[in-house]
Amino acid sequence: METNLRLLRLVRRYMRRDDQPRHRPRHSSLRRPQPSSLSNLKHLQNLRLHKIPNLVGQIPQSITQLTLLRYLDISWTNISGPVPHFLAHLNNLVFLDLSFNRLSGSIPPSLTNLPSIRAIDLSRNQLTGPIPELFMTRSTTDFATLDLSDNNLSGQLPASFSKINFSSVDISRNGFSGDASVLFGKGATSIVISWNDFKFDFSKVAFSESLFVLDVSHNRIYGTIPQQITEVYYLQSQSLNVSYNRLCGKIPSGWELKYNSSFFHNKCLCGPPLDPCK
């Protein structure tokens, strides 16, 4: 750990180093590309480049020389270009966070080959296209974390997701369609699929007892709300949102429901906290 901290301090000194002329024009803007010297840090296991707005350009292929890397966080920067396919060569990578950048293009299918990955965050970029088949299935089937929110992704969820027991999944604010019920009925604590175009029968899904965040709002989900949802102890209405769908029938009773906005704008839902059923 001490070695990693020392190497990270070296990285930070590099990023602050002034490699421009000492007397720059007052209004010039220093925009620094990814430092190629990072590839010399052969023993680095944790790399975090976070909230560095002057960090621009594409992620260099030389990063694959960091063969011991387990934690890679390049977030809240101005890096651009595609999500590199060569990241699949980081065989020890467990955590990948490339959120809040300007990455574009599709998710490379090569990322399905990461043998150790357990958490991926590609949120808040400009990614397009579908999620690759077998995504994250090689590395884990339990307690995986995935965040692809706030992109322009589309298509249906991979059938292989049925093999993954997600701990947390957020794919909100994209253009996904089809059936998302594959995410339910396992051990997830948080499922957020809002602001998509999903269409499936909500009455047929099952809920994990550990679930405490569920947001399926702004889709085309139909059916009724299953009575079994009242057995999910931690899921209170402040962490539940099924609004703006096509749900019908009586809202299950026997649990604490405080906010009717969680149920607004459905086809024919009724009962507390909405209007009585007729």
The per-residue pLDDT for range 114-172, each reduced to its tens digit, is: 999 999 999 999 999 999 998 888 766 677 999 999 999 999 999 999 888 899 999 99
What is the enclosing helix (H) or strand (E) of 145? strand 142-147
The more confidently predicted of residues 274 and 98 is 98
pLDDT tens for residues 23-48? 333 333 335 455 556 777 889 999 99
| Structure-model confidence comparison of residues 28 and 82, the more confident one | 82
| Three-state secondary-structure class, residue 246 | strand
Helix (H/G/I), strand (E/B), else coil: 152: strand
237-277 confidence digits (pLDDT tens): 558 999 999 999 999 987 766 667 899 999 899 998 889 99
pLDDT band per the 50, 70, 90 thresholds, residue 83: very high
Cβ atoms 158, 184 nearer than 8 A:
no
pTM: 0.86
Cα within 13 Å of Cα(234), Cβ side: 11
Which residues make Cβ contacts (< 8 Å) with residue 278, sequence separation at least 6? 270
**Token pair of 17 as six digits:** 């180093």
Give the model confidence (pLDDT) of 62-77 as tens digits: 999 999 999 999 999 9
pLDDT bin (cut points 50, 70, 90) of residue 16 is very low
Task: Dump pLDDT digits (tens) for 207-244.
Answer: 998 999 999 999 999 999 999 998 888 886 558 999 99
Total residues belonging to the chain: 278
pLDDT of residue 69: 96
Q: Look at residue 1 and tell me whether its pLDDT is greater than 70.
A: no
Residue 57: how many other CB atoms lie within 10 Å: 14
What band does 3 get if pLDDT is binned at 50, 70 and 90?
very low
pLDDT of residue 235: 83
Which residues pair with residue 198 across a beta bridge? 178
Which segments of the chain does DSSP mark as H helices, in order?
2-16
Average pLDDT (6-21) is 41
| Structural contact between residues 89 and 112, judged by C-beta atoms closer than 8 angstroms | no
